[in-house]
Copies of this chain bind each other. A is one copy, B any other.
Amino acid sequence: MDRAQQIFDRLDELGRISEDAHCLTRQYGSDAMRRANNLVGSWMKQAGMDVRVDAIGNLIGTSAVPSTGGSSRKTLLLGSHLDTVKNAGKYDGPLGVVLAIAAVEQCKDKSLPFDISVIGFADEEGVRFQSTYLGSRAVAGSFDEKDLQRTDANGVTLANAIKHFGGDPNKLSECRFDRTKLLGYFEVHIEQGPVLEQKNQAVGPVTAIAGQTRAKIKFEGKAGHAGTTPMSMRRDALCGAAGFIQMVESCARYNAGLVATIGQIVCEPNVSNVIPAIAHLTLDVRHRDDKIRLRACDELQAAAKKVAALRNLAMSWQVVQETTSVPCSTEFSIRLHQAILKHQSDVTDLPSGAGHDAAVMSKICPIAMLFVRCKDGLSHHPDESITVEDVRVALAVLTDFIHSFGIRK
């Protein structure tokens, strides 16, 4: 049978399970999530796995065959998430789960000195409770009990949502994986960026999940009549912001691997015949190396101060989020490189600019990730698109990656 085509078809089928009749939306704890778990669970069973849903709702398939290595035998955990954003594409998350099941099936008859489990995390996107990684945090033991009081748009608490889904908010500690039993966690995910497409490569290894700084910046000058205030007497907040925006871009262009974005700008009063008094900006800076990111942020803050001083503007800089980088395991990455080179002539190392469950899992075991090319770098959109040929490469790489551990043992 053509497993790549089967993965492709399964992702189509899974993509039709939605809480919304007109588009794909599967939020944590929804009936659609339950149906998705049932369907994916049935594929796990077909692959010979024992299937369970843990106390928070993660779907877990484990090797059904008795362990041959005794209690010292470890588990390689493969997976990704089964929840989606609103009006989602069908690959962000599900690809990593469905592909892992196919890999297990492919390895079923091979004798490996470790078990393989597959996990479909219940909440990576965090749409319903505005709190990401609920599923992997329960597994990694970093779940914050306070989050149980979070409420969704209808006022339902997370605790009640867990109960409604058939879980138990008092038994979340039972979701924890024993870190001494874990060989590592490996996640396949669409790239969500344009690099592989531009390089014409099916897959690429992730070097690290980038650290991120998010800041809110405000330049404040003085409003004035656009017709009667000479240029020399202006304190135009937007002109200051424009200079800063260009500095942000230059800073990122001169620091390899850095991405820096002013995604949002709001001016006041924002009227055509009035000089802008205030410009609010959001800054998003990411790099796999925290030192480079933090130095860039320091430089940008100094630049913003200078722009403000030169133009007699007030400037405020408020860091709203700071996330450190999570490097992938060197050993895993070497194995992954070797596996990729069997199936494609070049390898492009990719930082992951977006966050993933793997970042949470890194707290308890080595992690690695494989990105799969996606059309136009698009994600979180119904037009998400991948090819069956790329799925074939990803499955072959994943299988070889798994076998590389067996060979070494």
Contact = CB atoms under 8 A, between A and B. Distances in A.
A147 B246 CA distance: 46
Copy number in the complex reads: 2
A359 to B, nearest CB: 12
Contacts of A228: 191-194, 259, 352-354, 377
A369 to B, nearest CB: 13
A226 B265 contact: no
A185 B192 CA distance: 67
Given A273-B261, A273-B263, A249 B229 contact: no
A262 interface: yes
Contacts of A241: 242
Interface residues of A, number: 55
Given A195-B230, A245-B239, A264 B270 contact: yes
Contact of A238 (B193, B262, B275): B262
Contact of A193 (B229, B239, B273): B229
Secondary structure type dominating chain A contacts: mixed
A267 B265 contact: yes
B353 A226 contact: yes
B252 A246 contact: no
A286 interface: yes
Interface in A232-247: 232-233, 236, 238-239, 241-243, 245-246
B272 A233 contact: no
A271 interface: yes
A50 interface: no
A233 B253 CA distance: 11
A227 B252 CA distance: 12
11 contacts: A193-B227, A194-B224, A226-B263, A227-B259, A228-B259, A228-B352, A230-B259, A238-B245, A239-B262, A265-B267, A265-B270
Interface of A: 191-195, 198, 210, 212, 214, 224-233, 236, 238-239, 241-243, 245-246, 249, 252-253, 258-267, 270-276, 282, 284, 286, 352-354, 377, 379
6 A-B pairs with least C-beta separation: A227-B353, A193-B228, A242-B245, A272-B282, A226-B261, A228-B353
